[in-house]
Amino acid sequence: MASWGSRLLAAAVGGAAAVLVLYPIAFLIQASLSVGDPQARPPEAYGLGNYTDLPRYSHIFGNTVLVAVIATVVAIVVGFVMGWILSRTNVPGRHAFEQLMALPYYVTPLMGALAWSLLGSPSGGFVNQAWRAAGGSGHLIDINSAWGIAWVMALFEGSVAFVMIGAVMKPMDPALEEASQVLGAGRTRTMLKVTLPLVIPGVLGATVFVFAEMLGSFSAALVLGLPNRFYVVTTAMYQLVSQYPPRFPTAAAMGVSLFGVMFVMIWLYRRIVRRGHYATITGKAFRPRVMRVGRLRWGLFALCLVYLAVAVVLPVLTLFSASVQRLATALIPARANLTLANYATAFSLDAVRSALGNSLLLGAATATLGVGVMAFLAWLIYRSRLPGAGGIEYVLMFPQAVPRLVFAFGMLWAWLIFPLPIYGTLWLLLIAYLTVFLPLGLRTIAGVILQVDRSLEESAQMCGAGWGYRMRTVTLPLLRPGLVAAWLLLFIASVRELGASILLMGPKAKVITPAIVESWFSTSTELTAAMALLQTLAVAVALVLLFTVARRVTQPAGE
């Protein structure tokens, strides 16, 4: 029977993907149990020593929780307020703002951290300079503190929280609130008794999700915390691995602990989301009821502007200003200080050029391969009725619970001993990207696949079309817009990946984001700013090119 062949293939691909995910995690756990010579592999002896030693680092765990809690609270408040303003009030320019809310995600925490470091470092930060010039003493803000790190992280995660909370608020049936009012409850009572309880599961889900992300976040804590020796778990792991002599087992134990906590968080998140799915989404289409807020709307409008200014405009402007100065001493550069030398340097440095080229190449490869593989996997999980599809999905979503740095650590360990000589090459990074972005790609593509009714494929089958013909004429054309979106997401995410790249990139195969971080710590601020902007520009140019091509491709074919 033909279906046996496809079943076998499906099982093989599912199994391979599972190995890709579980193999590094197994090595991570193995390393964490090594109590012999920390450099020896495979381990000389096994024990729980590394875990019982962890309390020595309790301050690091404390820092991590402190930063994550502050950042989560701020991000959720931002997300909730923005979600409410943009989906439930008649604030001017609602729809434009909704589109703009994606921008902070594109600015990335790394760029934000670099920019806010320039703005808020206690000694030379532009904000603190201004403060002292205005007669203040000491510093107004300290971006290198736990609060500062959390602030930067929250600004960017705020847009994620907005998307998640907005998704709950928007499709809420206005009749639910109207029913309450018709029955005699006032506005406030309706808000407290109807609106809030309906929204709470979504907000709670977003909170848990954001908190898990914050526990594993890396770049802001690295850029802002390292100069101050303020460590969180991920940066401490990075330090332990990159110092001499490295202490792999301790780092691995930290990683496993973090993984354990995040795993519980993600599990909790999925439970909340599944449970809280009840009333707000009914599948009917309606316009959410928009509240008339009178003159307050201009206040809310200003609030939206402030968020975007702080999260997007200010960081980009700051980096731009720094990149065109000989010495970045002021936010508004003096004319004599202006220069394009930083860009010239960045372009002339072979390392930067090749790193940027490598990143774009890797991004394109990851996205292309990833969309192919993930589309197949998504189809396998959600459409093929393969026995055990649920299990495969669970394994493939695993990387969501593992910070990329921790995952890369497992890969480092795993692929060093793997017979293929890919360690230190771009190939290893490609495998790493494909693995860590599995959940992102799968979720995006699954969303599209689930939207396409199964009967659309079945009716092609009933018309007599075989598998290949069906795929070509019905399934793929219907999925195309979603696949293009997934390609773009994977491309952007790969080009700007830091946590996995920084551990896995070899000296002869550099990529751009870790190169920017290296430059930040070892060369000049101004050059780093130029590099960061060049990266963003390169991504933007690549995207514009792609969009033009994609639009031509997705246009209804003229046959």
Partner 1 sequence: MPAKASIEVRDLVVRYGAVAAVRGVSFEVGAGEHVTLLGPSGCGKTTTLRAIAGLEHPTSGEIRIGGDVVYSGAARVHVTPERRGLSMVFQSYAIWPHMSVFDNVAYGLRVRKLPSGEVAERVRWALDLVQMGALAARSAAQLSGGQQQRVALARAFVFSPAVLLFDEPLSNLDAKLRAEMRIEIKELQRRLGITSVYVTHDLEEALAISDRIVVMRDGVIEQVGSPAEIYDRPRSTFVADFVGSANLIRGRRRPDLEQEGLVVLETPGGLLVHGSAYGRHPGAEPLFSVRTVHVRLTRERPAAGARNVWPARIRRRVFQGDFTQYQLDWDGRTLVVRSASGDPFAEDDEVYLAVEPRHCVLLEDEPLRGGPSPPG
**Cβ distance to partner 1 smaller for residue 456 or 537:** 456
**Cβ distance to partner 1 smaller for residue 247 or 480:** 480
Give the residue, chosen from 474, 500, 534, 550, that forms a contact with partner 1 under the rule CB under 8 A: 474
- 285 part of the interface to partner 1, by CB under 8 A: no
Give the residue, chosen from 462, 507, 552, 558, that forms a contact with partner 1 under the rule CB under 8 A: 462
Q: Answer yes or no: are the C-beta atoms of 220 and 311 closer than 8 Å.
A: no
- 387 part of the interface to partner 1, by CB under 8 A: no
Phi-psi group of 464: left, alpha or beta (phi > 0 → left; psi -120 to 50 → alpha; rest → beta): left
Q: 497: burial class by Cβ within 10 Å (0-12, 13-18, 19+)?
A: buried
Determine if the peptide bond prior to 42 is cis (ω within 30°): yes
Q: 452: burial class by Cβ within 10 Å (0-12, 13-18, 19+)?
A: middle
**Cβ distance to partner 1 smaller for residue 492 or 550:** 550
Token match 């390392």: residue? Answer: 351
Distance CA 214, CA 206 (A): 12
| DSSP helix/strand/coil, 360 | helix
One-letter identity of residue 439: P
Rounded to a whole number of angstroms, the minimum distance from the CB of residue 103 to partner 1 is: 31
Rounded to a whole number of angstroms, the minimum distance from the CB of residue 487 to partner 1 is: 18
- 466 part of the interface to partner 1, by CB under 8 A: yes
Nearest to 306 by CA among 150, 203, 158: 158
- 464 part of the interface to partner 1, by CB under 8 A: yes
Nearest to 399 by CA among 266, 230, 275: 266
- 329 part of the interface to partner 1, by CB under 8 A: no
- 77 part of the interface to partner 1, by CB under 8 A: no
Contact track, partner 1, 399-438, x by CB under 8 A: ----------------------------------------
**Cβ distance to partner 1 smaller for residue 138 or 556:** 556
Rounded to a whole number of angstroms, the minimum distance from the CB of residue 478 to partner 1 is: 6
Encoding tokens for residue 4?
A: 């046996």
Q: Compute φ and ψ for 388, nearest 5 degrees.
A: 85, 10
Q: Answer yes or no: are the C-beta atoms of 429 and 511 closer than 8 Å.
A: yes
**Cβ distance to partner 1 smaller for residue 283 or 464:** 464
Distance CA 197, CA 424 (A): 52
**Cβ distance to partner 1 smaller for residue 459 or 523:** 459
- 453 part of the interface to partner 1, by CB under 8 A: yes
Distance CA 307, CA 75 (A): 11
Give the residue, chosen from 227, 260, 477, 506, that forms a contact with partner 1 under the rule CB under 8 A: 477
- 455 part of the interface to partner 1, by CB under 8 A: yes
Give the residue, chosen from 458, 548, 551, 553, that forms a contact with partner 1 under the rule CB under 8 A: 458
- 451 part of the interface to partner 1, by CB under 8 A: no
Rounded to a whole number of angstroms, the minimum distance from the CB of residue 4 to partner 1 is: 11
Q: Compute φ and ψ for 148, nearest 5 degrees.
A: -65, -45
Q: Compute φ and ψ for 506, nearest 5 degrees.
A: -90, 165
Select the span of 1-9, 21-29, 249-257, 349-357 touching partner 1 (CB under 8 A).
1-9
Using CB under 8 A as the criterion, which residues of the chain lie in contact with partner 1 when the complex forms? 1-3, 453, 455-456, 458-466, 469, 473-474, 477-478, 556
